[in-house]
Amino acid sequence: MSFLRSADVGYRRFLMTDRILDIQNLKTYFHTQEGVIRAVDGVYLSVRRRKALGIVGESGCGKSITSLSVLQVIPSPGRIVDGRVLFYPEAESDRPVDLAQLKRHGRELRRIRGKDISLVFQEPMVALSPVYTVGNQIIEALRLHEPHSKRRARELAVEMLDKVGIPNPDVMVDRYTFELSGGMRQRALIAMALVCGPKLLIADEPTTAIDVTIQAQILDLIRSLQTDMDMSVMLITHDLGVIAEMVDDIVVMYLGKVVESGSLHDIFDRASHPYTVALQRSIPRFQRRGQPLEVIRGNVPDPYTRPQGCEFAERCPKAMNRCFQDKPAMAEVGDRHSAKCFLFTDEVESAPGREANVR
Amino acid sequence: MASYIVRRVLMMIPLLVLVSGVIFIVIQLPPGDYVSRHVARLEMEGVVTHEAEIEALKRRYGLDRPVHEQYLLWVRAMLRGDFGYSFAVRRPVLSVVAERLPYSIIISVATLLFSWVVAFLVGTYTATRQYSPGDYIASFLGFLGLATPNFMLALILMWIMYSVFGFTVGGLFSPEYQDAPWTMGRVLDLLKHLIIPVIVVGTAGTAGSIRILRANLLDELNKPYVITAEAKGVPPFRRLCKYPLRVALIPFTSTVGWELPNIVSGETITAVVLSLPTVGPMLLRALVDQDMFLAGSLILFLSLLTLVGTLVSDLLLAWLDPRIRYDR
Ligand SMILES: Nc1ncnc2c1ncn2[C@@H]1O[C@H](COP(=O)(O)OP(=O)(O)OP(=O)(O)O)[C@@H](O)[C@H]1O
Ligand SMILES: [Mg+2]
């Protein structure tokens, strides 16, 4: 019996490789006076250990809020209302920590923030405090989690600044953010996120605010640090070009839901969901030569109401009658490749209870 | 930082020159010179004056010289501690002012501290608990405080203190301490008498400061850098103090400069109602009497208070906000 069980675990691991983060049916809502904004509305995704997952989607589809929900650092009045954020610090065979169940201001979650899971925020120009030096903020991050002396912490901070490619790190450590360029701030932010050697790095559009040459440097930097430090990465961007160079897996989000997920090649070469296809056609880099650039028609519906049927139906070139009535279930379209569309399934999305989440 | 302080202090010199110039003009404004006015007044009272005496007075104040020399003489005299003569009180200005200015400064500073502490605590509380019952209650009281005229508040508090505690408010000392030497008992008596003036004078300013701090803090609380701090594991209270609160205090601090003269002028009516020995009522009387040396000196001291206030607030600001001290 025990033999069977261990064989079973081994088999499962072989099947789905080791995951470090597994988000199930995550719902993060903003309860405002005007109504409820369902910023994240039942997201499923997982990050494989030492791999990079990319999250893509139009502006406002809930990428940032998904990433902020992992560490429960959601701007008010946002709140996680349902779902699980399972974190496997060492191996998937361990018991996971459900981050969504921890208290937002509690000690347990604080121990994970910045230590096991780090966040590089979307806007480098404002993500560091203007009234403390770069060093002060990095040293704070370090000493919150590791008992270094001030001097040692400073040395480590300088080392980290050097590692992310900031010139004269021993001078820059005493600089304020307003004395740094956008690229340097982004590097400083990354240095701060990496200083405790996190197992998972969540980078939210780490390159939008900076110019193209530096973009490439920063991406290279994240990639090389990923291998050096044995890190898993969750990378958020609406730039499919960035994704192509950085990630192993992709999830495509639309209106707070994942509409397609798969490996880089699945999504790029065998995009299944009409939204993914449209998204690719709207980006110059992925255009075959001579083909005109397309704009995804229609607009994102207003945030307070959700259509009865498929969220994308209104804008979908392949919409069928039933798309306006029912919501499709996530359907397998290949090995580890699935899409949420009636083109591939007849099943209707079930409101998942707790049972359905347990695998 | 050191170079900033030096630059900032040096900047006060031209300001002082400017202010003293304006005040000199104010002193000169009434028609005729003040010696003639003084003589006229004496004569109206039936006092016999001698030509030689008048000439001596005029020479003493340099009234026979050109205006710019008069100004320099006036400044030089002040630097030596001679602020002129109050013709209304018939004493040197300095001794008149010295009796009252310290109390004005004590009340102003105490009011400022009271206003800050209360505004800081209430502002922080209401911003972090936005839309809670406490927030609504504080806001209601705040608006009430803004809207109630000072003298009315003074009268109400006086009545309450008298009818509930049997404590007569008025003046800064109880009769037994009025002319007593400085002892612990006298200090305590002073503090006891300070409570009401401080509340009365400070309420409106405090209510305003609460609104300012609350609004600033609400702006800061959801800023990305605060979320960054939370995401790296900074505990809630420390995060609040170190990140959003510090930035929210910046505009709050810059109000000190003009808060001080506001307090002094706001204090005048209260001082009349509560019969406080401060400079407010005295300035009013000096202006009515055209006692220009006294009025000028009082305005000068108040301006100096303002300049020092702005200096303090600027130094605090520079300490709070590196963007200011590195701005060259
Ligand atoms: N502080 C907030 N209050 C209310 N609603 C919010 C707040 N922040 C985000 N939202 C809502 O959540 C939704 C998802 O926002 P999110 O920032 O996750 O989008 P995103 O995919 O990251 O977009 P972008 O590509 O522009 O960064 C948005 O539609 C927005 O309306
Ligand atoms: Mg975003």
What gap in Å lies between CA A219 and CA A241, rounded to an integer?
11
Cβ of B247 and A130 within 8 Å? yes
Residue B240 sits at the vertex; the CA angle it makes with B236 and B246, to the nearest 5 degrees, is: 160
Q: What is the C-alpha to C-alpha distance for residues A196 and A140, in angstroms, rounded to an integer?
A: 11
- Residue B32's pLDDT band, with cuts at 50, 70 and 90, is low
SS3 category, A120:
strand
**Ligand with the closest atom to the CA of A256:** 1
Residue of A nearest to B222 (CA): A75
- What is this model's ipTM? 0.84
Contact B323 A73 (CB under 8 A): no
Q: Is A303 in the pocket of ligand 1 (CB under 6 A)?
A: yes
How far is ligand 1, taken at its centre, from the CA of residue B259, in Å? 41
Chain A contact present for B234, CB below 8 A: yes
Neighbouring residues of the ion ligand 2, judged by CB less than 5 Å: A 64
Domain ranges of chain A: 17-103+202-308, 117-197
Among partner residues A68, A113, A132, which is closest to B232 by beta-carbon distance?
Answer: A113
pLDDT reported for residue B160: 86
DSSP per-residue letters across B77-142: HHHTT---EETTTTEEHHHHHHHHHHHHHHHHHHHHHHHHHHHHHHHHHHHHTTTSHHHHHHHHHH
State how far residue A104 is from chain B, nearest Cα, in angstroms: 10
- pTM here is 0.80
* Distance to chain A for B320, nearest Cα, Å: 7
Counting atoms of ligand 1 from 1, which one is nearest the CA of A122?
27
Instruction: Please tell me which of A29-43, B40-54, B76-90, B189-203 the model is most confident about, judged by mean pLDDT.
Output: A29-43
Tell me how crowded residue B71 is: count the other CB atoms within 10 A of its CB: 18
Q: Collapsing DSSP states into helix, strand and coil, what is residue B294?
A: helix
Q: Measuring CA to CA, which residue among B50, B232, B140 is closest to residue A111? A: B232
- Per-residue model confidence as pLDDT tens digits over A112-141: 999 999 999 878 788 999 999 999 999 999
Min Cα–Cα distance to chain B from A128, Å: 5
Which residue bears the tokens 């609504």? Answer: B136
Q: Report the alpha-carbon distance of residue A232 to residue A74 in Å, rounded.
A: 22
Question: What average pLDDT is seen over chain B?
Answer: 84
The DSSP bridge partners found for residue A85 are A23
DSSP H or E segment with residue A48: strand A35-48
Q: What is the pLDDT of residue B242?
A: 93
Residue A330 CA to residue A72 CA, distance in Å, equals 26
Q: Which of A53, A51, A22 is nearest to A237 (CA)?
A: A53
The model's confidence at residue B227, banded by pLDDT at 50, 70 and 90, is very high
A108 shares contact with chain B (CB less than 8 Å): no
Q: Determine, for residues A141 and B233 on separate chains, whether the beta-carbon distance falls below 8 Å.
A: yes
Domain boundaries, chain B: 16-93, 97-320
> Which 3 state secondary structure label does DSSP give A91?
coil
Q: CA dihedral in degrees (A148, A153, A155, A161; nearest 10)?
A: 140
Q: How confident is the model at residue B47 (pLDDT cuts 50, 70, 90)?
A: confident
A76 lines ligand 1 (CB under 6 A): no
Q: Is A121 in the pocket of ligand 1 (CB under 6 A)?
A: no
Question: A209 near A182, Cβ under 8 Å?
Answer: yes
Cβ proximity of A155 and A161 under 8 Å: no
| B224 contacts A126? CB cut-off 8 A | yes
Highest mean predicted confidence (pLDDT) among A33-37, A250-254, B270-274? A250-254
The continuous run of DSSP H or E covering B19 comes out as: helix B12-28
State the ligand closest to the CA atom of A66: 1
Please, what is the angle between helix B256-273 and helix B150-160, to 10°? 60
Q: What is the CATH number of domain A17-103+202-308?
A: 3.40.50.300
Residue type, B106: I
- pLDDT one-digit tens code per residue, A15-74: 456 899 999 999 999 998 888 999 999 999 999 999 999 999 888 899 999 999 999 999
| Cβ of residue B320 closer than 8 Å to a chain A Cβ | yes
Cβ contact, residue pair A130, B224, below 8 Å: no
Interior/surface letters A156-184, b for 16+ CB within 10 angstroms, e for the rest: bbbebbbbbbbeebeebbebbbeebeebb
Q: pLDDT averaged over chain A?
A: 85
Which atom of ligand 1 has the smallest separation from the CA of A253? 21
Instruction: Report residue B296 as tokens.
Output: 């000028």
Cα(A73)–Cα(A110) distance, integer angstroms? 11
B231–A119 CB contact, under 8 Å: yes
Which residue among A73, A76, A176 places its CB closest to the CB of B231?
A73
Tell me what the mean pLDDT of segment B274-286 comes to: 86
Residue B78: burial class (beta carbons within 10 Å; 0-12, 13-18, 19+): middle
Mean pLDDT for the stretch of residues B167-171: 73
Per-residue model confidence (pLDDT) at position A114? 94
Average pLDDT over residues A254-282: 91
For the cut 80, the answer to whether the pLDDT of residue A146 exceeds it is yes
Looking at the predicted structure, is the pLDDT value of residue A353 above 50? no
Q: Kindly give the distance from the C-alpha atom of residue A84 to the centroid of ligand 1, in angstroms, as a whole number.
A: 20
Residue A163 CA neighbour count, 13 Å, CB half: 21
User: What percent of chain B clears pLDDT 90, i.e. is strictly above it?
Assistant: 12
- The residue assigned the tokens 């800023």 is B223
| Cβ neighbours of B231 in A, within 8 Å | 68, 71, 73, 113-114, 118-119, 121
A116, A129, A132: best to mutate for the B interface, most B CBs within 10 A: A129
Q: Are strands B85-86 and B91-92 parallel, antiparallel or unpaired?
A: antiparallel
A203 close to ligand 1 (CB < 6 Angstrom): no
Confirm or reject contact between A118 and chain B (CB < 8 A).
yes
The DSSP element (H or E) to which A250 belongs, if any, is strand A249-254
Question: Does B97-320 carry CATH code 3.30.70.1400?
Answer: no
**Under an 8 A CB cutoff, do A129 and B235 touch?**
no
Atom of ligand 1 nearest to the CA of A68: 18
Cis peptide before A77 (omega within 30 of 0): yes
- What pLDDT does residue A354 have? 41
